[in-house]
Amino acid sequence: MKFLPIVVVLTGAGCLAAVPYTPVIAATSAAIKSCSKQWSNMKKANKVPEGEKWSEFWSQCSKDYAAKNGEDASTEKASKSKKTASVSEDDSASSAQQKKDCDAKWDANKTRTGAHGWHDYFQFMSKCM
């Protein structure tokens, strides 16, 4: 019975030990690294304007960084990691008719295969259209 409290205390200590390193893990973009360094230097030199918070500083610093380096600081990592296909979402009379045709095919497919739900519907429609 004395083993359980020890495990709980050690687990809690492990969680608390990881908390200070969370910002380091989150700092992946060049903008946040640069702004974090500036903020740290300002704090060490005691030059942070009175009442200014990190969120306010980050908001302005990220805009300045993006203007200076020609990139969107908040989406730099996301844009590099995921590429999506370009899809035209323009509706036309033919696309409306195509959707109606696919809906009719969906009804037939649904009764034949037993498919149901939005997930199955969207997968079918993406292949149909």
State how far the Cα of 58 lies from the Cα of 32, in Å rounded to an integer. Answer: 8
Residue 88 lies in a domain: no
| Structural domain span for residue 106 | 93-128
Q: Are residues 60 and 121 in the same domain?
A: no
pLDDT tens per residue, range 7-45: 666 676 666 665 555 555 554 688 888 899 999 999 999
Q: How far apart are CA 74 and CA 71, in angstroms?
A: 9
- In a domain, residue 60? The reply is yes
Asked if residue 116 belongs to a domain, the reply is yes
Q: 64 with 14, same domain?
A: yes
Looking at the fold, whether 61 and 97 belong to one and the same domain comes out as no
Same structural domain for residues 52 and 18? yes
Angle, vertex CA 29, rays to CA 23 and CA 35, nearest 5: 70
60-119 pLDDT, tens digit per residue, is 998 898 888 876 544 444 455 566 666 666 666 677 888 888 888 988 888 888 888 888
Q: How many domains does the chain have?
A: 2
The one-letter amino acid code at 51 reads G
